C-alpha cells in the first residue's frame, strides 16, 4: 500500500505515508526503556477529520479503540491527546479553559471580557457557552457560576454553588529571592517591595539520607543463597530489622517511599553479594533497576522511581571489613564470627551446642586471624548457641558498625553536590 512488504519494519518515518494513503491522522503511543508513562508520536502534518490511535509494543502496532480507557484519566484532550483528571487542570494551545469546548480554539480570536467572573472569553460564542447552565452531579450550574478569576492575585478559583461563603482569599505571594510577602495589587500606591538577598543556608558536611544495610543468607540444596535476615541503620541513627525468607521484599516495601527519595544505600561488597538480593526482589515485583556493571558485577544501580542509589563501600574503602579497625585506628573488632556454612532452613531455629570450628570458614583466615578465632572459640564452645540471636548480632555489627561510615558518607555527599 505504501511500498512496504509484510516483513518490513514500520518506523516513525513511515507514518506519514500511511496518513497520506488512508487520509487520516495517526497518533502512536509507546513506552521507552526508561519511561514509566506513555510517550506519544505525531507527525507535523495538518490534522484530518479522522484520527487513528495505535500502541507500539515490541515492534508491533496495536489499534486503540477507546483512548480514554487506554490512558486511564477521565478526560482526554481532543487537541494534544493528553489525559487529565480535572477539566480545569489541563493547559494546551487547543484547550479553552473558559468554556471547555474543544472547537473554541478553532475560531478567530475576538476577546470579550466578562465582568462577572473576570475571565477573558475568546469569542462571543465562548462568552455564551461559559454562561450556559448545564446539569452537574447534583445541581444545575454554568462554568461562569463556578469558576471565577481574582483581579488581585490573577488566580482562578472554584466557588461551589451550594456554599454560602463565596469569599475568595488571595494566596500569600512571596518573593523568590528573599521569601518575604509581596504587596498585592490592591495595596495603597507608593508601597513597594524592598528586596534583599538572603544568606545562603550552611551546607552540611554529611547527607543524613544514607542507609547502611547487610543481609544474612543461607544456601539451598541447589547452592543458591536465599536471604533470611536484613539489618539496616541510617546515618541519623534509625534502626530497622526484618527476618524471614521474604526479608528482601520487606526491605523494598519499607524503604521505597517518598521520605527516602534520593537516598543512598550502602553495603560492604555489595557488588559481589548484597546487590543481587535486592535486584532479584525488584525483578520479582516487576521493577526495572538501572545498572552499571563492571564485568559481571553490579557496582552501582538505581531505583529510578524514587531516585534511590545503591553503592558498594568497597568503591571508597577497598579493604575487607575485618581489616578496617586496624587501618582506621579502631581497637574494637567489627564483624566477629558467624558459622555461615551452618546456615540452612533447618537450622534457622537452632538452639544447642556451638557449631564445629570448620563452619566458621577457618580455611579462608590468615594465620593471625585463625589464632584470634581459636582464642575466642575456646571461650564459647561449651556454651549454648542461639542461631537467631547470633545472626541478628552478627548482622547488626556488620551493617551498623562500619568504622568508615562517616568517611564514606562525606564522599557520597560531595559526589551528590558535584
DSSP state of 205: S
Q: Which helix (H) or strand (E) holds 411?
A: helix 405-417
Consecutive H or E run containing 206: none
Distance CA 55, CA 28 (A): 6
pLDDT confidence of 184, banded at 50, 70, 90?
low
Q: Does 222 share its domain with 267? A: yes
Statement to judge: residues 296 and 331 lie in one domain: yes
Q: Residue 93: inside a domain, yes or no?
A: no
Section 202-221 average pLDDT: 73
Residues 361-372 have pLDDT tens digits of 889 888 888 998
Same domain, 76 and 118: no
Tell me, yes or no, whether 175 and 127 share the same domain. Answer: yes
Element (H, E) at 395: helix 387-400
For residue 191, the model assigns a pLDDT of 61
Confidence of residue 349 (pLDDT cuts 50, 70, 90): confident
Who has greater pLDDT, 347 or 405?
A: 347
* Contact status, residue 242 vs residue 229, Cβ threshold 8 Å: yes
C-alpha cell at 39: 510517550
Give me the pLDDT at residue 4, please.
82
Same domain, 172 and 254: no
The total of structural domains in the chain comes to 3
Condensed to tens digits (0 to 9), the pLDDT of residues 162-173 reads 665 667 787 777
Contacts 24+ apart (CB under 8 A), 116-122: 116/144, 116/148, 117/144, 117/147, 117/148, 117/149, 118/148, 118/149, 118/150, 118/151, 119/147, 119/148, 119/149, 119/156, 122/96, 122/98
Angle at 339 between CA 336 and CA 345, to 5 degrees: 130
What CATH code is carried by the domain that includes residue 75? 3.90.70.80
User: What pLDDT sits at residue 318?
Assistant: 66
pTM: 0.48
Residue 239, domain CATH: 3.30.420.10
Domain with 19, as residue range(s), is 12-84
385-411 confidence digits (pLDDT tens): 999 888 888 877 665 545 445 545 555
Residues 57 and 32: their CA atoms lie apart, in Å, by 10
Q: Are residues 35 and 165 in the same domain?
A: no
Residue ending a domain, among 51, 84, 117, is 84
Give yes or no: residues 175 and 294 share one domain: no
Amino acid at each position: 500500500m505504501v511500498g512496504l512488504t509484510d516483513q518490513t519494519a514500520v518506523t516513525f518515518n513511515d507514518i506519514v505515508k500511511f496518513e497520506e494513503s488512508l487520509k487520516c491522522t495517526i497518533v502512536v503511543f509507546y513506552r521507552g526503556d526508561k519511561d514509566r508513562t506513555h510517550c506519544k508520536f505525531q507527525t507535523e502534518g495538518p490534522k484530518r477529520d479522522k484520527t487513528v490511535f495505535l500502541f507500539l509494543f515490541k515492534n508491533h502496532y496495536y489499534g486503540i479503540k477507546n483512548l480514554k480507557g487506554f490512558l486511564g484519566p477521565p478526560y482526554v484532550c481532543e487537541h494534544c491527546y493528553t489525559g487529565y483528571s480535572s477539566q480545569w487542570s489541563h493547559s494546551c494551545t487547543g484547550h479553552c479553559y473558559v468554556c471547555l469546548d474543544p472547537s473554541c480554539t478553532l475560531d478567530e480570536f475576538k476577546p470579550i471580557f466578562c465582568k462577572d467572573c473576570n475571565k477573558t472569553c475568546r469569542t462571543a460564542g465562548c462568552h455564551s457557552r461559559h454562561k450556559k447552565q448545564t446539569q452537574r452531579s447534583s445541581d444545575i450550574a454554568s462554568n461562569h457560576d463556578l469558576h471565577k478569576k481574582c483581579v488581585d492575585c490573577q488566580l482562578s478559583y472554584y466557588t461551589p454553588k451550594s456554599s454560602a461563603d463565596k469569599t475568595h482569599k488571595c494566596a500569600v505571594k512571596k518573593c523568590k529571592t528573599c521569601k518575604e510577602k509581596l504587596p498585592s495589587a490592591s495595596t495603597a500606591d507608593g508601597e513597594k517591595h524592598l528586596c534583599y538577598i538572603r544568606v545562603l543556608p550552611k551546607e552540611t558536611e554529611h547527607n543524613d539520607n544514607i542507609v547502611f544495610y547487610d543481609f544474612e543468607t543461607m544456601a539451598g540444596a541447589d547452592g543458591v543463597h536465599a536471604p533470611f535476615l536484613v539489618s539496616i541503620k541510617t546515618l541519623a541513627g534509625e534502626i530497622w530489622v526484618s527476618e524471614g525468607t521474604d526479608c528482601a521484599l520487606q526491605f523494598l516495601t519499607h524503604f521505597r517511599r517518598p521520605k527516602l527519595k534520593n537516598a543512598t544505600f550502602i553495603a560492604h561488597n555489595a557488588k559481589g553479594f548484597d546487590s543481587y538480593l535486592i535486584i532479584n526482589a525488584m525483578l520479582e515485583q516487576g521493577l526495572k533497576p538501572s545498572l552499571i556493571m563492571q564485568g559481571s558485577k553490579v557496582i552501582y544501580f538505581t531505583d529510578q522511581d524514587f531516585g534511590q542509589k545503591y553503592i558498594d563501600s568497597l568503591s571508597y574503602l577497598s579493604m575487607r571489613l575485618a581489616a578496617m579497625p586496624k587501618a582506621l585506628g579502631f581497637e574494637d573488632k567489627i564483624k566477629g564470627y558467624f558459622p555461615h556454612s551452618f546456615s540452612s532452613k533447618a537450622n534457622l531455629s537452632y538452639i544447642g551446642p556451638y557449631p564445629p570450628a570448620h563452619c566458621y570458614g577457618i580455611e579462608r583466615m590468615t594465620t593471625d586471624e585463625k589464632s584470634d578465632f581459636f582464642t575466642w572459640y575456646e571461650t564459647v564452645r561449651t556454651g549454648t548457641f542461639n542461631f537467631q540471636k547470633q545472626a541478628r548480632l552478627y548482622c547488626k555489627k556488620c551493617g551498623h558498625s562500619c568504622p568508615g561510615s562517616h568517611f564514606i558518607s562525606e564522599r557520597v555527599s560531595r559526589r551528590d553536590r558535584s
